[in-house]
Amino acid sequence: MAASFDLKNDGVVVIIGSGAGGGTLGNELAQKGIDVVILEAGARHEYEDFINDEWDSFAQLAWKDKRTTSGDWRVAKDFPNLPAWIVKSVGGSTTHWAGASLRFQEHEFKTASTYGKLEGANLLDWPITLAEMEPYYAKAEAKMGVTGTNDWPRLPGNNNFKVLKAGADKLGYKECHTGNMAINSVERDDRNSCQQTGFCFQGCKWGAKWSTLYTEIPKGEATGHLEVRPNAMAIKINHDASGKVTGVVYADKDGKLQEQKARIVAVAGNSIESPRLLLNSQSAKFPHGLANSSGQVGKNYMRHTTGSVYAIFDKPVHMYRGTTMAGIIRDEARHDPSRGFVGGYEFETLSLGLPFMAAFLNPGGWGRSFTTALDHYDHMAGLWIVGEDMPREENRIMLHADEKDEHGMPIADVHFDDHPNDTAMRNHAYKQASALYDAVGATRTFPTPPYPSTHNLGTNRMSGKAEHGVVNKHGQTHDIKNLFVSDGSQFTTGAAENPTLTIVSLAIRQADYIAAQMSAKTI
Amino acid sequence: MVTIYDGKPGLSRRELLKRGSIGALLVISGSAVISPEQAWGLETSALKPETMATLIQMARDIYPHDQVPDKYYAIAVKGHHETAAKDPAHKELIEKGIAELDKKAGKGGYRGLGWEEQRVALLTEIEKAPFFQAVRGGLVVSLYNQKEVWPIFGYEGESYSKGGYIARGFSDIEWL
């Protein structure tokens, strides 16, 4: 049965956010008998409540609170108040994610030493290696039911995949399959297998795709050690005179401010909200925000070098049928500077329904060049580019100078400029993807600009030395022993792979560390 | 209040001449825009019916899909009428925007220009203006989010209630 903890209970671990990082950490700690309160800003919608309709689902799940943007990315012009497409709901963005679960490559933990000095890039090696991560990756894959691991079969390929595969074969790509997906290809974990419904981004109504909402969270609740408090928007983390954190102030469902006392606080609100909360927790003792002695909180914001390529054929495809992202080409994920950039990228199948295709194919576009593309919607195939982008200090989350939200908290301002390496990589990927579709007989291809960011990373980064980042190799802040970061904002660099598997692996690892430190009474 | 209603198809030729036609398709009658061929009408009061008729044409010129009937463009722009009824500033934005478009078009107004290219040339001149952006921005959702137009584009919409596509063609491509 789900626990219910008193606001004054200062023995609990308070986790802010219930997504891949927070939801996983909460369950892992609860399984060890540690009492946990998860504060979740959004409401609780169970999977049968999800909606197979793009705009209606967006209204139900998306984080729509106003943010501002600047920089040379097109999102700042086309969606100035929607820099990210992430979720405000129990389960966080694991309700919305597509399920792609890839381990990072060895060199991606060592980018500064592998790529060398790159002007305008704030590269740094992770303080952990692939070898240290491997046992946790294995635990995460087992937990999430990742296809292509643990003898679980890969998903069958849909129409969009078949077009991708045909093109990959023509171009001579070797590693193309339906991916490593945290989507049940067989019934397991008391959940359905994939019914090829599409609408993966709108929440899986079968519960076949792993989400903390219906895996980690109910399992944690069943221990009696976990309480998930929805509609609880964290505003500020309090600390005592010694600098240890003591509790979290949040606005409850009625907008009333409450404080939940805590022994340990773990921040997992995604890479925009997590630094926003740390910065907003500034005090006389910490005038630049919590855990910010390095000045790195909010900096090095990464969003992956993304983009899409859609192609029209003279015969039907119906790309929207079936699992949205079960299709990958990994050949370009290698680090090979002869291509004109460092790092690499993945190609993954992607489709949007007609309403979102109209909104995102060429935002602001109109006239026949635009509409004749949509006229052939059912003859379209599509893919997404996911590549490593360069961390830059100037790319950052800040508190807005004057605009505040309904609780009086400054809204987040997001600045992003592409690094020349990002642009070179994207252009390479556009060219390769167009060639791929041309090889299958495409009559027209569309290099489509990046959408509002789904992979938000790096704004509280992990570093070996305290002056280079915000947290250590366990996600513990360098400055405050009982304050942790548990989401993708810990990423030192972004790698080419979708981030969720690594976030979950880090959370499992962090839970072991927190439990050990609690037993040792060091925190 | 804006009502889109389906009526009996085909007004008589006499009736049509009496009411005065807009291009070949739309008829303005009192406070309504009527499509005699397609049997629907759009009743307006906050915006002039002529303005609504021009908005419908403008919507088609912005997002031209020859296989999509006017009715869906009318539904897509009717929100401007509803907003105008509540917000005088919006009413002025639309009425003034249309009036300026008609002025630019010269005698016969915007709807009097026979070729899409001629009308698009005028729209291109104003594409940065708030009026154009308000009309275009709204259309992205109000046109393409109509479930009734999805089948015209071959988009099947909701699939959960039908058991997904696992037995309904998720991998039925045959031409590769």
> Could you tell me which of A170, A168, A190, A192 has the C-alpha nearest to residue A178?
A168
Q: Compare CB distances from A321 to B67, B169, B176 and report the shortest one's residue.
A: B169
Least CB-CB distance to A375: which of B65, B141, B156?
B65
pLDDT of A51-69, one tens digit each?
Answer: 999 999 999 999 999 999 9
> Cβ of A367 and B120 within 8 Å?
yes
CB proximity B67 to A under 8 Å: yes
| DSSP string for A429-476 | HHHHHHHHHHHTT-SEEEEEPPPSBS--B-TT-B-SSGGG-SB-TTSB
Give CA–CA dist A237/A282, Å, rounded.
Answer: 9
Look up the CATH number of the domain holding residue A83.
Answer: 3.50.50.60
Whether the CB of A381 is below 8 Å from some CB of chain B: the reply is: no
The verdict on residue A3 lying in a domain is no
Segment A99-109, tens digit of pLDDT? 999 999 999 99
Q: Does residue B3 carry a pLDDT above 90?
A: no
pLDDT of residue A263: 98
Write a three-state SS string for A4-43: CCCCCCCCCEEEECCCHHHHHHHHHHHHCCCCEEEECCCE
For residue A4, tell me if it sits in a domain.
no
Contacts of A315 in chain B (CB under 8 A): 175
Residue-wise pLDDT tens digits, B54-92: 999 999 999 999 999 999 999 999 999 999 999 999 999
Q: What is the pLDDT of residue B25?
A: 62
pLDDT band with cut points at 50, 70 and 90 for residue B33: confident
The answer to whether residue A57 sits within a structural domain is yes
A-chain residue closest to B144, CA distance: A355
Domain around A269: 13-519
Contact between chains at B62 and A366 (C-beta distance less than 8 A)? yes
Q: Is A158 on the interface with B (CB under 8 A)?
A: yes
Contact A159 B173 (CB under 8 A): yes
Burial of A8 (C-beta count, 10 Å sphere; 0-12/13-18/19+): exposed
At residue A321, what is the residue type? R
| Residue A1 included in any domain | no
**Whole-model pTM?**
0.95
Token pair of A327 as six digits: 């299709």
What is the reported pLDDT for B22?
A: 44
Question: Could you say which of A52, A163, A357 has the minimum Cβ distance to residue B158?
Answer: A52
Query: How many whole angstroms separate alpha carbon A168 and alpha carbon A328?
Result: 10
Instruction: Give the end-to-end CA distance of chain A in Å, rounded to a whole number.
Output: 27
What is the predicted pLDDT for the residue at B20?
45
Say whether the ipTM exceeds 0.85. yes
Return the percentage of chain B with pLDDT > 90, whole number.
Answer: 74
Residue listed under structure tokens 């959370």: A507
pLDDT by residue for chain A (523 residues), tens only, comes to: 899 999 999 999 999 999 999 999 999 999 999 999 999 999 999 999 999 999 999 999 999 999 999 999 999 999 999 999 999 999 999 999 999 999 999 999 999 999 999 999 999 999 999 999 999 999 999 999 999 999 999 999 999 999 999 999 999 999 999 999 999 999 999 999 999 999 999 999 999 999 999 999 999 999 999 999 999 999 999 999 999 999 999 999 999 999 999 999 999 999 999 999 999 999 999 999 999 999 999 999 999 999 999 999 999 999 999 999 999 999 999 999 999 999 999 999 999 999 999 999 999 999 999 999 999 999 999 999 999 999 999 999 999 999 999 999 999 999 999 999 999 999 999 999 999 999 999 999 999 999 999 999 999 999 999 999 999 999 999 999 999 999 999 999 999 999 999 999 999 999 999 999 999 999 9
Give the CA-trace dihedral at A118, A474, A267, A515, to 10 degrees. Answer: 170
Q: What is the mean pLDDT of residues B26-55?
A: 83
What is the reported pLDDT for B42?
80
Asked if residue A415 belongs to a domain, the reply is: yes
> Is A122 inside a domain boundary?
yes
Cβ-Cβ contacts under 8 Å, A379 against chain B: 154
**A56/B contact by beta carbon, under 8 A:** no
What total of structural domains would you count in chain A? 1
For residue B16, the model assigns a pLDDT of 45
Across the interface, whether the CB atoms of B160 and A205 are under 8 A apart is answered yes
Q: Å from B138 to nearest chain A CA? A: 11
Lookup: tokens for B16: 């049509």
Whether the pLDDT of residue B2 is over 70: the answer is no
Q: Is A369 on the interface with B (CB under 8 A)?
A: no
Any chain B CB within 8 A of the CB of A7? Answer: no
Torsion angle defined by CA atoms of residues A485, A264, A18 and A467, in that order, rounded to the nearest 10 degrees: -10
For the stretch B13-32, pLDDT in tens is 455 444 444 444 677 877 78
